[in-house]
């Protein structure tokens, strides 16, 4: 993990936030290549799940919604983590994560009343004692009584900062889809089943952010609320299970052996779902969730209907029936997929004494790297750059030796490198170098864009 973090920082994928002010712990900025990698994954998600489908539509809601949305959704009352402090070294922890870690790494058995972050606080206090859970920092076993800590980030609207002006930054994109459900259904004249998709920032005041960009307080989600007739929810769940896997493997290019799909136990289900499974990725620090696929039933629509006193039901004209649709929700974390792509691609090629990112060309931030063999023919290479950059995100580089430039390109995961020398160029050709095999091929300039396009698929 340390190597991946170092490469990410040195090569411009991810920087620590506010670096010139001495950093803010666990906050990260995406640099030039990280931004493009993230945009590519997001755009592929939009292409697969909005552009190529006839049943899904995209919306873009406010980050700050009416606070009543979060009361109705159950987030104000129930979106809380169990917080405890180590009495010896004063470090702060999520009590359920301490227990989970112990259960994963030892033979300890979970007590029957253990329900993850949903466990009653007094019972969880006792479980910490009974299992002799240790503080990860000082290895002592003495914790303060658990306090429930609401994860929503608060803010104030207008000129006063009293409770009347209190609002929240959204902790998930999803409520926008529920609140706008009736508007979308009416204005799009869609029949069930259909999905409303959203990509954007969400905020959670995580107690223990960490593992690089895995758990942060500000992150991007890609969520689809897929509305179906009750009774058709199990089939839709199976459909989105397969579609999510296809996205991770065929589109983002993650190795299937690094993915697993596991159920969330009944007692640990979020307050809104009847059934939920996680797609986890095998990061160097262990398995970590990249998507939750949940059957939210009609929980949200009925909660908003009751709280707002507005009719959110759907009218099925064929069967002349009014009802609240059920919802299947594939909810992915964009930053976690970026991190998975970086971990999956990180390759140490000992034979050739190099490290490179074997990113799927579809997600690679820079598709083509253009370099003149010597600086003095830079003007020719810039013409090739102009030709290629009409179609692809390219980078031009004339600094340092060819070998050093290839090494840099490999670490950024650029699939194709075009070198220009005057002899080849005079004959209308350039040389294409392939990142993974390091093989080279002479290609005619007139065919170059088509050649790259063909290999990008
Ligand atoms: N609307 C449902 C929902 O938000 P979730 O499991 O809480 O479900 C969905 O979040 C996805 O969002 C997670 O699988 C994860 O990929 C991402 N995510 C959640 N909290 C995160 C955090 N603090 N940092 C980065 N990504 C996060």
Which amino acids bring their CB within 6 angstroms of ligand 1? Answer: 172, 174, 204, 206, 215-216, 219, 221, 223, 289-292, 329, 331-333, 335-336
Half-sphere exposure of 187 (CA within 13 A, CB side): 8
Ligand 1 centroid from CA 333, angstroms? 5
What distance in Å separates the CA atoms of residue 340 and residue 332, rounded to the nearest whole number?
A: 12
C-alpha closest to that of 45 among 198, 242, 262:
198
Q: Specify the residue with its C-alpha closest to ligand 1, atom 25.
A: 215
Nearest alpha carbon, ligand 1 atom 14: 291
| pLDDT for 265 | 85
Decide: helix, strand or coil at residue 76: helix
From 274, 331, 335, the mutation candidate for ligand 1 (largest count of ligand atoms within 8 A of CB) is 331
CB 378 within 8 A of CB 372: yes
Q: How far apart are alpha carbons 210 and 16 in whole angstroms? A: 12
Q: Per the omega criterion (within 30 degrees of 0), is the bond before 438 cis?
A: no
- Atom index in ligand 1 nearest the CA of residue 290 equals 16
Question: Closest ligand 1 atom, CA of 289?
Answer: 14
Q: Give yes or no for a contact between 363 and 341, defined as CB atoms under 8 angstroms apart.
A: yes
Rounded to the nearest angstrom, the distance between the alpha carbon of 251 and the centre of ligand 1 is 20
The rounded Cα 369 to chain-centroid distance in angstroms is 27
How far is it, in rounded angstroms, from Cα 68 to Cα 288? 32
Structure tokens at 276: 């939920």
Rounded CA separation 44/50 (Å):
10
Low-confidence residues in the chain, pLDDT < 50: none
**Strands 56-58 and 194-203, bridge-based pairing:** parallel
Torsion of CA 404, 408, 409, 413, to 10 degrees: 150
Model pLDDT, residue 21: 66
Nearest CA to 301 among 226, 191, 222, 202?
A: 226
Residue nearest atom 2 of ligand 1, based on CA coordinates: 331
The DSSP bridge partners found for residue 443 are 430
Q: Which atom of ligand 1 is nearest to the CA of 294?
A: 2
Cis peptide, bond prior to residue 193, ω within 30 of zero: yes
DSSP annotation of 265: P
In DSSP terms, 347 is beta-bridged to 356
Tokens at 421, concatenated? 């020398």
- Structure-block tokens of residue 361: 């060309």
Sign of CA dihedral 370, 253, 283, 334: positive
DSSP states along 76-137: HHH-EEEEEEBTTT--EEEHHHHHHHHHHHSS----TT--GGGS-HHHHHHHHHHTTPPPTT
* Interatomic CA distance for residues 271 and 118, integer angstroms: 9
Which of 292, 297, 299 to probe ligand 1 with, by most ligand atoms within 8 A of CB? 292
CA end-to-end span of the chain: 29
Taking Cα atoms as reference points, which of 399, 331, 328 lies closest to residue 369?
399
Whole-prediction pTM? 0.91
244 Cα: distance to centroid of ligand 1 (angstroms)? 15
Q: What is the residue-wise DSSP string for 364-406?
A: -S-SEEEEESSGGGHHHHHHHHHHHHTTS-EEE--SS-HHHHH
- Give me the pLDDT at residue 18, please: 63
- Give CA torsion, residues 197, 203, 205, 208, to 10 deg: 70
Q: Beta strand pairing status for 429-434 and 440-444? A: antiparallel
Ligand 1 atom with least separation from CA of 337: 16
The β-bridge relationship of strands 259-263 and 166-169 is: unpaired
């Amino acid at each position: 993990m340390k190597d991946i973090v170092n490469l990410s920082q040195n090569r411009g994928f991810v920087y620590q936030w506010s670096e010139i002010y001495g950093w803010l712990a666990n906050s990260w900025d995406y640099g030039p290549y990280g931004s493009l990698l993230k945009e590519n994954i997001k755009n592929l998600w939009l292409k697969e799940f909005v552009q190529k489908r006839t049943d899904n539509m995209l919306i873009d809601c406010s980050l700050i919604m009416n606070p009543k949305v979060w009361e109705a959704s159950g987030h104000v009352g129930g979106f809380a983590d169990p917080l405890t402090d180590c009495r010896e070294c004063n470090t702060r922890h999520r009590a359920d994560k301490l227990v989970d870690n112990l259960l994963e790494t030892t033979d300890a058995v979970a007590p029957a009343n253990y329900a993850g972050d949903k466990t009653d606080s007094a019972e969880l206090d006792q479980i910490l004692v009974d299992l002799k859970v240790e503080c990860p920092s000082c290895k002592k076993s003495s914790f303060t009584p658990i306090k429930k800590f609401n994860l929503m980030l608060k803010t104030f609207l207008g000129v006063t900062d009293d409770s009347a002006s209190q609002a929240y930054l959204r902790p998930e994109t999803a409520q926008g889809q529920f609140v706008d459900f009736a508007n979308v259904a009416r204005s799009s004249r869609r029949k069930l089943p259909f999905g409303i998709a959203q990509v954007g920032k969400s905020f959670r005041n995580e107690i223990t952010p960490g593992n690089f960009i895995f758990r942060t307080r500000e992150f991007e989600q890609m969520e689809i609320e897929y509305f179906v007739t009750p009774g058709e929810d199990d089939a839709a769940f199976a459909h989105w299970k397969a579609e999510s896997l296809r996205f991770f493997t065929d589109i983002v290019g993650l190795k299937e052996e690094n993915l697993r799909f596991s159920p969330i136990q009944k007692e640990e289900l979020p307050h809104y779902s009847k059934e939920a499974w996680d797609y986890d990725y095998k990061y160097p620090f262990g398995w970590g969730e990249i998507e939750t696929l949940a059957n939210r039933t009609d929980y949200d629509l009925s909660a908003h209907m009751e709280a707002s006193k507005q009719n959110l039901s759907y009218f099925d004209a064929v069967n002349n029936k009014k009802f609240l649709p059920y919802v299947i929700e594939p909810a992915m974390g964009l930053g976690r997929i970026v991190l998975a792509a970086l971990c999956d691609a990180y390759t140490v090629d000992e034979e050739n004494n190099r490290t490179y990112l074997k990113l799927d060309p579809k997600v690679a931030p820079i598709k083509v790297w253009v370099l003149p063999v010597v600086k003095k023919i830079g003007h020719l290479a810039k013409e090739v750059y102009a030709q290629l950059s009409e179609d692809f995100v390219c980078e031009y580089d004339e600094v340092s030796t060819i070998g050093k430039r290839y090494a840099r390109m490999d670490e950024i995961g650029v699939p194709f490198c075009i070198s220009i020398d005057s002899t080849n160029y005079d004959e209308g050709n350039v040389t294409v170098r392939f990142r993974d095999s390091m093989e080279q091929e002479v290609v005619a300039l007139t065919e170059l864009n088509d050649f790259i396009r063909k290999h990008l698929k």
